[in-house]
């Protein structure tokens, strides 16, 4: 089970998913609240932690990026998951869409194409209730799964 975070300078999106990658819990919380949940063990049922990591592409960045970096470190340190991994945005774009040019809307559509419809209140689908950065957090978790499970499967096939 994977717990994935799309961090921000003040609020962060998260998704907890089961072995089939179905979202079990998700939301957007103030960073202090999410950190407290990690410290208190609210997410200890998840074996893996995947956090989106910022990367430099040679352009100047502002205060928000540096504050996000601080939160990434705090979340990393507070989590009790035995396996932790950073997932870069470029890797998620390539994994989900096969293109570095992919935008948030492309990622969202590719995830819907792969897993199913959003649904409605009357007939909730796989992603019912998802909004904004929750899609990015989910993409981080799926990318973590795809990268690591493919390594595991290659190891089993060659072993």
Cβ burial 11-37 (10 Å sphere, 16+ → b, else e)? bbbbbbbeeebebeebbbeebeebbeb
What is the fold, at CATH topology level, of the domain defined by 2-158?
Nucleotidyltransferase; domain 5 (3.30.420)
Give the containing element (helix H, strand E) for 148: helix 134-158
For each of the chain's 159 residues, which pLDDT tens digit applies?
Answer: 999 999 999 999 999 999 999 999 999 999 999 999 999 999 999 999 999 999 877 888 899 999 999 999 999 999 999 999 999 999 999 999 999 999 999 999 999 999 998 999 999 999 999 999 999 999 999 999 999 986 655 454 444
From the list 74, 86, 87, 79, the residue with the least C-alpha distance to 32 is: 74
Give this prediction's pTM: 0.92
What are the angstrom distances between the C-alpha of 61 and each of 7, 44, 100, 137? 16, 34, 20, 22
């Amino acid at each position: 089970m994977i717990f994935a975070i799309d961090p921000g300078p003040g609020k962060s999106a998260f998704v907890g998913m089961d072995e089939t990658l179905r979202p079990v819990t998700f939301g957007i919380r103030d960073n202090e609240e999410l950190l407290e949940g990690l410290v208190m063990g609210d997410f200890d049922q998840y074996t893996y932690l995947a956090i989106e990591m910022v990367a430099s592409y040679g352009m100047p960045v502002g205060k928000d990026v540096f504050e996000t970096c601080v939160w990434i470190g705090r979340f990393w340190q507070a989590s009790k998951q035995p396996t932790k991994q950073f997932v870069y945005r470029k890797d998620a774009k390539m994994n989900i869409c096969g293109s570095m040019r992919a935008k948030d809307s492309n990622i969202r559509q590719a995830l819907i194409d792969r897993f199913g419809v959003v649904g409605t209140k009357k007939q909730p689908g796989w992603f019912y209730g998802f909004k904004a950065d929750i899609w990015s957090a989910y993409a981080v978790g799926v990318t973590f799964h795809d990268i690591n499970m493919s390594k595991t499967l290659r190891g089993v096939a060659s072993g």
